[in-house]
Structures are given as C-alpha cells and as structure tokens.
Amino acid sequence: MKKSTLYISILIVIVVGLLIYIQLNNNHEEVHDHLEAQEESHTDADEVHLNQAQFEAAGIELGTFSKKNLNEVVSSNGYTKLPPQNQADVSVHSSGIVKNIFVEEGDKVRKGQVLATMESPEFAKLKEAYLLSKSNLAFLKLDYERQKTLNEQAVNAKKTYEKAKSDYEMEQARYASLKRQLALLNINLSENASATVPVLAPISGYVTEIHIRIGSAISAGTSMLNIVDNSKLHVDLLVYEKDLYKIKKGQKVRFILTNQNQNEVEGTIFNIGKAFENDTKAVAVHAEIDNKNEQLISGMYVNALIDLGANALFALPLDAVVKADGKSFIFILEKNDSSDAEMHFKRIEVKEGASQLGFVKIDLLQKIDKDAKIALDGAYYIQSHLTKSQGGGGHAH
C-alpha cells in the first residue's frame, strides 16, 4: 500500500513538471514573438513612404552635411556700404533748361554715356567767344612774330613790340580759359556754336534717382541724377571693444541679410577702423564681399559671424532637424529599386550642438552611408506624414 502511494506521488510530480515545462516554453515563444513584433513595429514607425507627387508638392530638398565654423566666432551686426568714390551726383557747371532725358531709374550706364541734354543761349555765346578768340589768337600770333623780328633788327620801336607781345599773351590766356569752360560743359570744340550741351555719366554704374524732368530749370551745381557702382560694395561690421583684439585682416566673415532670405554670403576682412563709431564702444570692421550679386545694395542690414580660425564642424540647416518626444531626428533617403515609384525615408535620431546663422552642429547616434541623402528642407512635412500614419502619435515640434 505504501509503495503504490509512493509511485502515484512520483507520477504526479512528473506530470506537473511536464506541464510547467510546456507552459514556460509557450510563454517564452510568446515573449519572443512579442519582441519581434515590437521591433518590426518600431522599424515601421521610423519609415515614411512618399510617392513622387507628394515629394514634389512638399518641396523637399536633398543634400548632405556642410562644414561650418560654429564655435570660435565673433557675432556682429552691420550694413552694406559703398565708398564715396563709387557714388556720383550728376550736375553741370552752368545754368540751363533740361531738353532731353535718355535714362530711367535702374538703368545701367557706362562712364561718358549721354544721360540728358540741356540748352541755354549762354552755351552758344560761350562757343562763339571761343571761336572768335581762336581766330584772334592766330592773327595776334602772326603780328607778335613780325614785331619780334623787326625789334631784333631795330626797325620798330620797342614799345610796339611789347604791345604786340602783351596782346598775344592775353589772348592766349583767354583762349585757354574758354577752352577749359567748354570742356567742363562737354561741348565739342570742333562743332559750330550750339545752344545744346550733353550731360555725361561721370562713372559707370546704375541710375538710382532722377531729380529732373523735361523743361526743368537747372542751376550750376544742382544734382540732376544719382549713380552708384556696386562693384566695390563691402560690409561694415560693428565689433565691440571686448572682442576687438581677436579681429585680424584676412579673417573670413559669413553673414546673412537681416530682412532677406537666409542665403549665406561670405567675405574677407580688409581693414579695421581706428576709432569708435558714433559715441559707442564699437569699431567698424570692413569686409570685402566674396560672392557679390546684383541684389545687394548699399544700406542693407546684416547679421554676421567672424571666423577666428577654429576647425569647421559638420552641420545641417535648422529646417533639416525635427523634434518628437523630446528627441531630435533627421530623415535619410533610403536607396530604392529603380522600379519603385515611392521615395523611402528613414528617420534616425541625432544630437544637436551649437547653432548659428541657420545651421546647427549634428552628432550622429548611428552610422549612415557617407553619400546618404538627407532631407535638408521639408523634414517637417515628412514628420507630419509619419505622425498621421501612426494615428496621431508622436508629438512633433
């Protein structure tokens, strides 16, 4: 009896053990399947698929990292400026009436080009006086030379010779004066007397303002037009006393136009002021613009960074980084089969560093291909598409 009871107890223990083993094995498989499902779900949650129409409508711009100096810099503000020798007020040296105007504001002109014409009876009188003086000078020269020869031969009186010499020299001075006046008025010396004179451009550049109209009465020295030559446009940056010792000629400058787009313009420091500006503790630092374009004009305000020579860092535009659940992400375009019409983007987590002038330093938390294409613009659209596909989860900023 005791033996049969023992056998029954052993059998029960074995059966219970088998049942526990089977249950534990099933639980392990369920946990494994659940983890696999979670991993697959996580992978899918970081991928976005866009068709070609969605990609184009979002204006997504692809690119890669840029090298930017985001650490050792001096921040500064300033404005674009033209030196005085590249600006001109167009005026005339005599009074007259505007007869013609040949240019409009914004026109590009070359030095010596006729911008307008003026007329006045005085111009004709001046030319007439010049031609008369030229004729008299020829006569007086012959008389002077004749009297000089007679004086050397002691044929005529010395007083007659001196009078001929004086008349000739006086007419020489009058002729030279009239010639200079005609030159200042741009009157052609070889033409007959005319009441009309041309107004010429003193420099090459662009017409910025026109202060006259046909029939306007102009006095000598009155500004008729303004011309600017933007080829020598540079940037004046205000650097405060505490940073002045860091600034040197030849340092590179990066700046953006305060009221324009975020396109970065580069320059090089060529001179440093020697006095404080307008009762401030700031000195003007002058920088040439390396990549000029016709959209830059004098007086534009800029925000600038003066590079002090530190190593450049890998950076992306601020618009390339999105935030979700307190983390920072970028989107990488995955290589697709050429037959696949969709664009496949993968979201990867990154760490942000210093940011300046619309760029931010990026540290990758996982390895990507060196030639990987990154969504530089349109990342927020991709993130919103991802959020919708998740059913509204993943709060993005």
Reading the block at residue 93, the tokens are 């040296």
pLDDT at 87: 92
Model confidence, pTM: 0.54
CATH level 3 topology of 89-227: OB fold (Dihydrolipoamide Acetyltransferase, E2P) (2.40.50)
- CA-nearest of 270, 281, 279 to 239 is 281
Q: Could you list the pLDDT tens digit for every one of the 397 residues in the chain?
A: 455 666 666 667 676 666 666 665 555 454 444 444 434 434 456 788 888 888 888 888 888 888 776 667 788 888 888 988 999 999 888 888 999 999 999 999 999 999 999 888 887 788 888 888 888 888 888 888 888 888 877 777 788 888 888 988 898 899 888 888 888 887 877 767 677 888 999 999 999 999 999 999 988 888 999 999 988 889 999 998 888 888 889 888 988 887 766 667 888 999 998 888 777 788 999 999 887 766 788 888 888 888 886 666 788 888 889 888 888 999 988 866 555 677 888 898 988 877 777 788 888 888 888 788 888 888 888 888 887 776 654 444 4
The conformational region for residue 392 under phi > 0 = left, psi -120 to 50 = alpha, else beta, is left
* Tokens coding 268: 């090089």
Q: What are phi and psi of 344, to 5 degrees?
A: -105, 120
Q: How far is CA 325 from CA 24, 329, 392, 395, in A?
A: 36, 10, 13, 6
Q: Can you give the residue ranges of every domain in the chain? A: 48-69+313-389, 73-82+233-307, 89-227
Question: How much is the pLDDT for 394?
Answer: 46
| Pairwise CA distance, residues 184 & 178, whole Å | 10
Q: Which CATH number fits domain 73-82+233-307: 2.40.30.170, 3.20.20.70, 3.60.60.10, 3.30.70.980?
A: 2.40.30.170
Give the right CATH number for 48-69+313-389 from 2.40.420.20, 2.40.30.330, 3.30.930.10, 1.20.120.330: 2.40.420.20
As a whole number of angstroms, the distance between CA 11 and CA 237 comes to 94
Indicate the pairing of strand 108-109 with strand 114-119.
unpaired
pLDDT, position 215: 92
Q: Determine how β-strand 327-333 pairs with β-strand 373-377.
A: antiparallel
Q: Encoding tokens for residue 55?
A: 């990609």
Order the strands of the 87-90 sheet from edge to edge.
Answer: 87-90, 225-228, 205-210, 108-109
Residue 127, Cβ density class (10 Å: 0-12 exposed, 13-18 middle, ≥19 buried):
buried
Distance (Å, rounded) from C-alpha 110 to C-alpha 47? Answer: 59
What is the pLDDT at residue 5?
67
